[in-house]
Structure 1
Amino acid sequence: MSSRVPVLQSSLAAALLLVATGVHAQDAAAEVVIPQENVRYDYAQVLNVEPVYQVLRTSRIEHVCDLVKKPTAGNGLSRMVGAVKEKLGGSSSGEDDEFENCRMEPVVREFRRPIAYDVDYVYKGSKFRTRTARDPGNRLRVRVSITPQPNHDR
């Protein structure tokens, strides 16, 4: 019998609280109405896609030298052959090249990679913009949701 007493007391306390505040159980239930959402999927025409890039900068210390051409010894014919080979894209023998002023320097490199895409699209005559993880191509799948407007005239 002692286990029933707390249940009765809490139920009685809840009923008294409702009566004291002037709220009836019927009014509380009538206030909670959630309109049902109607959802379907369709395709929109893509107008423009612009990649959004992340720029990564790295730097490291590298051995850098200035390349200096030293005067070639020998006759004029060997110098002329070397110059023609160099102009035609052939590699020179390396005997004429000399590295000077070598030092360790920080070299900075930049890398760009796409991380997202800004997409302009049109659906049923209205233009929209969104950001997607992938390039959607010529059309974009869209979720169309229709929910009735709550009636606030009461």
Structure 2
Amino acid sequence: MSIWKQLLLGALVAGLVGFSAWASADGYDYAAVTEVIPVYEEVQVRRPRTECWDEQIAYKRPRSAAGAVIGGLIGAAIGNKAGRHGHHHGRRYHHRGNRGAATVAGAAVGALVGNEVSRANAPTRYGTQQRCQMVDEYRTRRDLVGYDVRYRYNGREYMTRTDRHPGDRIRVRVDVSPAW
């Protein structure tokens, strides 16, 4: 090989080494990406929703208010009579102040009793009523959390996880230290 060819080859090698050193002089370089694998995480998501259904119910409704009216009249009469006459230590006495209150109380109690008797004797009817309740529904969702990236730099394989897709090359930090 001629001296000129050797010099030219030496200059070319020196230039490539110098260029490589210049490219990574700031401590960074680029490596070829060989594989990118998306990494997912499964997350359970709670979604409350309302669930409704129709339910058959039984109820008794009196045909009229006659039971309450008749019970009220009977109760008022009993209360009026009880308010006119009372007993005190075995003796009868006439007490005028409680007569009106006893009549009203008797009417109210009689109306309640009459209404309940009327309701108990009423025919059973059926209807439909909508019922609703809140229920939790769980769904599994896959969230992308990053990428496992394999890359090759200076003939060696490396792997890292990134938060975004790197493309066909990835920036790497180059650390040069003296060998002793």
Does TM, normalized by the shorter one, top 0.5?
A: no
Would you tell me which structure has more helix in proportion to its own residues? Answer: 2
Q: TM-score, normalised by structure 1?
A: 0.41
Select the structure of larger CA radius of gyration: 2
Q: TM-score, normalised by structure 2?
A: 0.36
